[in-house]
Amino acid sequence: MARNDLTIAMVGSGGDGVVTMGNLVAQAAAREGLHVIETEAYGPQIRGGETSCTVRVASREIYAQGDTVDVLVVFGWESFGRFRGEISAAADAVILYEAADETQFEKLDLPLGEHARWLPIPFQQLAKDASAAGAKNIVTLGILAELFGLPSDALRRAIEKRFSKKKASVAEANLKAFDAGRDFARSVTQEVGHKELAYEPAEPRLLLSGNEAAAIGALHAGCRFFAGYPITPSSEILHFLSEWMPRFGGAFVQTEDELAAIGAVIGASFAGVKAMTATSGPGLSLMIEMLGLASMAEIPTVVIDVQRGGPSTGNPTKSEQSDLLQALYGTHGDAPKVVLACSDVEDCFHATVEAFNIAEEFQLPVLVLSDQSVGQRRETLSASALVHEVRDRVKPAPSDLTGYERYRETDDGVSPMAVPGMRGGMYQTNGLEHDEAGRPTSLHLTHEKMNAKRYRKLLPIRERHAFFRRYGPARADVGIVCWGSSKAAVKEAVLEANARGERVAAFVPQTIYPFPKHQFQEFLSGIEDLLVVELSYTAQFYKYLRTFLTLPEGRTHVFKRSGGKELTVAEVAQEIDKVRGVSASRRESVVA
Amino acid sequence: MSAELPVFQPADYKSDLKPVWCAGCGDYGALAALHRAMAKLQLLPWNTVVVSGIGCSSRLPGYVSTFGFNGVHGRALTLATGIKVARPELSVIAVGGDGDGIAIGGNHFLHSARRNLDVAYLLMDNEIYGLTKGQVAPTTPAGDKTKSTTWGNPEAAVDPCELAISFGATWVGRGFSGDPKTLVDLMVAAIEHHGFSFLNVMSPCVTFRGDEQFKTLRAKLRSLPEDHDRTSRQAALRYTREKDSLTTGVLYEVTEPSLLDRMADVRQKAQKAGPVKGTADVLATFAPAF
């Protein structure tokens, strides 16, 4: 029976070209109008080493990378072994593996289904026979296209495009390799039709990563200054803006360290240009002192933190949600700043634009928490989804520039901000506490008053910029709260549960601070049990919620674990079942 | 519009804030010289930004009537980078002390020199930490006793001018706050220079280095010989790490493309890839066009 949702994983070592394969499948599927989620995973090696690429393609909307793979391509079992516990195959998966690999894979602790079909394939030999020894991956693509209904024409065009900058003979050789794969597949006698994709072609869709979406969001918001320092898994933002910022007439600087990056961003913004940096947890730690400066001097500042496993060098190529408390509380002193989160690729765009809107309107630092999972995965999107209103900072009116006071008290705490070049707007800004004119002072009363002024800005942000998502019915037995990339598995699990008739709901805030407290309390009032889900060993999100909310006593459950592996729909579903069980037995005991 | 502009006097660059510096501090001389240098250059106050980090001398932006940014310790040049790169038409002057610029901010100093950042950096070097009340600095001579070298400084001192020359600064000078006439001229030249200019101003700390620091420095004061070749790195380095003399003047000056020149080239190259109207053009590159 043909299917409308197929997940393919490819595993190999450097030089096997599994990422190219995955990219080509994703691009061809996007061309056909299919929905795609593509993820890559690497070992810590700089070149070579184990690599895996997983592509899920479907003719309906999908929210998560599939828990289990339908088709698994293994170029080497040793590489596969290095992803132990991270790639699970469906019970009826089709496994294509290198026939020449003599590794005793039966002895590997394989998380593979027992009804899986095993197809040993001489990938390397086929490539040699097609006089394309370096194109084993393209031969394999031909096999996959033929066996599993992937779009052959679109794949051929994707291959041609891929090699269009090289000699014509390169594209020709690769196309020959592709056809050789298809020919070989016709000789396969095992029945694999249950994994064949069927779909109606639709309008082509955009295919981009979360990091790219965030960088595009910055350009869309009017960011014309980027300074950054390379760090995995955020560097794609740096690379992207290195290419595009100058094309937009903006400035791009790769600084000597993260301290310089945030300093340059604050300087550029002080000078009146929208500015941003991007980093990961260790880099954010270095920047945090100066986020206090941005807060104190009231300078619009945007920082994207693409989280990875920590602490220290930690797990740099894998995702985790453990920078939350650092982002919220890392700064010394009482320093208002806003924390937003992105839960998917599209969110990376919107959260970044909104970060600029809030930073510019309220003159404070805004942190965007992304993570390796959403930052580096590619998803298909419709261009029409990437629209977002852009707002600018309040500039002084001519009347403000007579007797100008940079930090003048106002009802909402926002004072018109002059920029260099404005005659009459001159002021000296300070990391020191200062009075309304910006003059340094250590007077207690001024410190109290200016703290109040700076914190007052958060009220309208909470009222006007409360972003959150809600899934499932208003009244539910189980209500899940999660944030960021956990949304993928949670949303899919909730919708699946709803389809089975279970009353399960979810609340996913995108504004983490100031938290949409009232909306969340309303959510709480409609649910029986609360389940907090997060990828943090110490349950940072749960701890944070408890600082300002009384969570339902005896009815609050936490599912947390370290990152390093994406949250799966099955994990969430299992937790939902557990909570439902607890809830049911509690009701029985009340009746008894 | 220029016809309406007043002629700015040194006093016009003075703010109404009273410096927090101790009586007799060398920084008063540096500040007065800066006011006069600004007047000589007729810098438009509202187009000028004075940036600093933290330290006694880093309080200076508050005493100058221009735009000013007194940031955090060690990061003056990072802020200056952002300001100048974002708004090339502004005059950006970074100021600070030896602890701020050479210890905690040393990395930014080296890389600003390497980039040839279009900023004048005026370092007030008193060979001590003054604001935190008398600890050893990277410019404190070996053997000296300070609050944090009770038994004498076990470390060697660095000459900031040598660092600047080595890392690619295109203008390097040394001045003395007790010699205001030369200092004003040096500041004018540093601010006018195209690219990264570094002026090390020996600025005594009477409180923690004692009254005699002025006398000692003055006694060592020398001028550069007339035939000094300031375009020669070798010649310039001869006047660094001096023991018994303090040579003031322009040690080194060359013409190189600045960071902004090079960034303009990059922008031109990038724009040859085709005009961009908005993010829709960027998004279009993510459509599977085949």
pLDDT tens digits, A490-527: 999 999 999 999 999 999 999 999 999 999 999 999 99
Q: Is any Cβ of chain A less than 8 angstroms from the Cβ of B104?
A: no
Are residues B290 and A251, on separate chains, in Cβ contact within 8 Å? Answer: no
Distance from CA of B282 to the nearest CA of A (A): 7
B282 touches chain A (CB under 8 A): yes
Class of domain A208-385 as given by CATH: alpha beta
Question: Which CATH number applies to A468-591: 3.40.50.12780, 1.20.210.10, 3.40.30.10, 3.40.50.920?
Answer: 3.40.50.920
Host H or E run for residue A497: helix A487-499
Q: CA of A155: which chain B residue's CA is closest?
A: B290
From A563's Cα to the closest Cα of chain B, the distance in A is 30
Contacts of A471 (CB under 8 A, 6+ apart): A490, A491, A494, A495, A505, A506, A508
Query: Which residues of chain A have a CB within 8 Å of the CB of B88?
Result: none
The secondary structure element, H or E, covering residue A358 is: helix A345-362
pLDDT at A592: 61
* Residue in B72, B78, B280 closest to A260 by CB: B78
Q: What is the pLDDT of residues A26-50, one digit of tens each?
A: 999 999 999 999 999 887 677 778 8
Chain A within 8 Å of B264 (Cβ-Cβ)? Answer: no
B chain contacts of residue A272, beta-carbon cutoff 8 Å: 86-87
User: Is the separation of the CB atoms in A267 and B83 below 8 Å?
Assistant: yes
Task: Tell me, yes or no, if B191 comes closer than 8 A to chain A by beta carbon.
Answer: no
Q: Are A377 and A39 in contact (CB under 8 A)?
A: yes
Is beta strand A527-534 parallel, antiparallel or unpaired with respect to A556-560?
parallel
Which of B108, B274, B282 is facing A260, going by the closest CB pair? Answer: B108
- Please report, rounded to a whole number, the percentage of residues in chain A having pLDDT higher than 70: 99
CB contact, 8 Å: B5 with chain A? no
The verdict on a CB contact (< 8 Å) between B283 and A249 is: no
Q: Is B54 on the interface with A (CB under 8 A)?
A: yes
Q: How far is CA B192 from the centre of its chain?
A: 13
Q: Measuring CA to CA, how many Å separate A281 from each of A162, A234, A240, A307?
A: 34, 10, 20, 6
Q: Tell me if chain A has a CB within 8 Å of the CB of B83.
A: yes
Confidence of residue A152 (pLDDT cuts 50, 70, 90): very high
Among A158, A204, A261, beta carbon nearest to B287: A204
Residue type at A146 in one-letter notation: E
Between CA A164 and CA B18 the distance in angstroms is: 68
Cβ-contact B145, B164 below 8 angstroms: no
Q: Where are the domains of chain B?
A: 2-284
State residue A353's pLDDT score. 98
Above 0.90 for ipTM, yes or no?
Answer: yes
pLDDT tens per residue, range B131-174? 999 999 999 999 999 999 999 999 999 999 999 999 999 999 99
Q: How far is B15 from chain A (nearest CA, A)?
A: 10
Least confident of A74-83, A149-158, A282-291, B115-124: A74-83
How many Å lie between the alpha carbon of B114 and the closest alpha carbon of chain A?
11
CA–CA separation, B115 and B258 (whole Å): 7
Tell how far CA A506 is from the center of its chain.
19
The predicted-structure confidence for A360-410, as pLDDT tens digits, reads as follows: 999 999 999 999 999 999 999 999 999 999 999 988 999 999 999 999 999
- Domain residue extents for chain A: 5-204, 208-385, 394-465, 468-591
With a cut of 80, say whether residue A559 has pLDDT above it.
yes
Substitution target in A428, A433, A439, A442 with the highest count of B β-carbons within 10 Å is A428
Mean pLDDT of A558-571: 96
Tokens 């008193």 correspond to: B126
**Nearest-CA distance from A401 to chain B in Å?**
12
Task: Please indicate if any CB of chain A lies within 8 Å of the CB of B223.
Answer: no
Residues of A in contact with B79 (CB under 8 A): 263-264, 266-267, 270
Q: How far is B96 from chain A (nearest CA, A)?
A: 14
Would you call B271 and A249 a contact, using CB atoms and an 8 Å cutoff? yes
Task: Tell me if A246 and B266 make a contact (CB, 8 A cut-off).
Answer: yes
A225 to B51: CB separation less than 8 angstroms, yes or no: no
Chain A hits for B65, Cβ within 8 Å: 426
In A133-262, at which residue ranges do the beta strands (DSSP E only) sit?
Answer: 206-209, 225-228, 251-254
For chain A, say whether B46 makes contact (Cβ under 8 Å).
Answer: yes
Q: State how far residue A60 is from chain B, nearest Cα, in angstroms.
A: 19
CB-CB under 8 Å, A227 with B80: no
What is the average per-residue pLDDT within A299-314?
A: 97
Choose the closest CB to B86 out of A260, A263, A275.
A275
- Summarised one tens digit per residue, pLDDT across range A317-374 is 999 999 999 999 999 999 999 999 999 999 999 999 999 999 999 999 999 999 999 9
Number of Cβ pairs < 8 A linking chain A and chain B:
189
Candidate from A246, A297, A425 with C-beta closest to B270: A246
Q: How far B263 CA sits from the closest chain A CA (Å)?
A: 8
DSSP A434: B
* Alpha carbon of A99: minimum distance to chain B alpha carbons (Å): 34
Instruction: Give the CATH architecture of domain B2-284.
Output: 3-Layer(aba) Sandwich (3.40)
Rounded to whole angstroms, the Cα distance separating A493 from A570 reads 7
**If we measure between CA atoms, which residue out of B116, B115, B79, B94 comes closest to residue B194?**
B116
CA–CA separation, B23 and A206 (whole Å): 67
Average pLDDT, chain A: 95
Six-digit token pair at A136? 């084993």
Q: At A538, list the tokens.
A: 């110490």
Are the beta carbons of B46 and A425 separated by less than 8 Å? yes
Contact A206 B283 (CB under 8 A): yes
Q: How confident is the model at residue A18 (pLDDT cuts 50, 70, 90)?
A: very high
Mean pLDDT of A209-227: 98
Cβ-based contacts of B266 with chain A (< 8 Å): 246
All residue ranges of chain B with pLDDT < 50 are 1
Closest residue to B78, CB basis, from A248, A259, A422: A259
Contact A502, A491 (CB under 8 A): no
pLDDT, tens digit (0-9, with 9 covering 90-100), for A451-479: 999 999 999 999 988 899 999 999 999 99
Topology agreement, domain A208-385 and domain A468-591? yes
Task: Select from A57, A247, A287, A332 the residue whose CB has the most chain B CBs within 10 Å, as the one to mutate to test that interface.
Answer: A247
DSSP secondary structure, A193-224, as one string:
GGG-B-----S--EEEEHHHHHHHHHHHHT--
**3-state DSSP percent of chain B in helix, strand and coil, to 5:** 40, 20, 45
Query: Which chain A residues are closer than 8 Å to B267 by Cβ?
Result: 246, 249
Name the class of domain A5-204.
alpha beta
CA distance A527 to chain B (A): 41
Q: Do B78 and A264 touch (CB under 8 A)?
A: yes
